[in-house]
Amino acid sequence: QVRLVESGGGLVQAGGSLRLSCAASGRTFSNYAMGWFRQAPGKEREFVAVRSWSGGSTYYADSVKGRFTIFRDNAKDTVYLQMNSLKPEDTAVYYCAADSVVIKLRRGVPDNWGQGTQVTVSS
């Protein structure tokens, strides 16, 4: 099992930036893929970004391409989501996720979830 702890959420004005962090611990294997999802009020959870252990497989939702960047520090077992040019539409609870199979993250069915961190973007 993998334990995931998010941090870095908060309130920011449109056009601003935030960086989310997710620290992983307790996993059986060291090569887990990690990613981010979000759920806005009144909407279903949606995929945001995913990055494999090596970085060879990296994917972004169309809505965040060019604005968000996912990267990781494997030595610290931490994945980050750098969010720039934030829009009010980005307001949501952001969830970190991890799985040994990249496709499971892309499909939105990873085995491990964090508790979520609130991101609010004001206009």
What 3-state class would DSSP assign to 9? coil
Q: What confidence score (pLDDT) does residue 21 get?
A: 97
Mean pLDDT, residues 43-66:
93
Task: Give mean pLDDT, residues 76-103.
Answer: 94
Residue bearing tokens 């990055």: 51
pLDDT exceeds cutoff 80 at 67: yes
Is residue 6 within 8 Å of residue 114, measured between CB atoms? yes
**Which ranges of 1-123 does DSSP label H, i.e. alpha helix?**
102-106
Checking if the pLDDT of 29 tops 80, the result is no
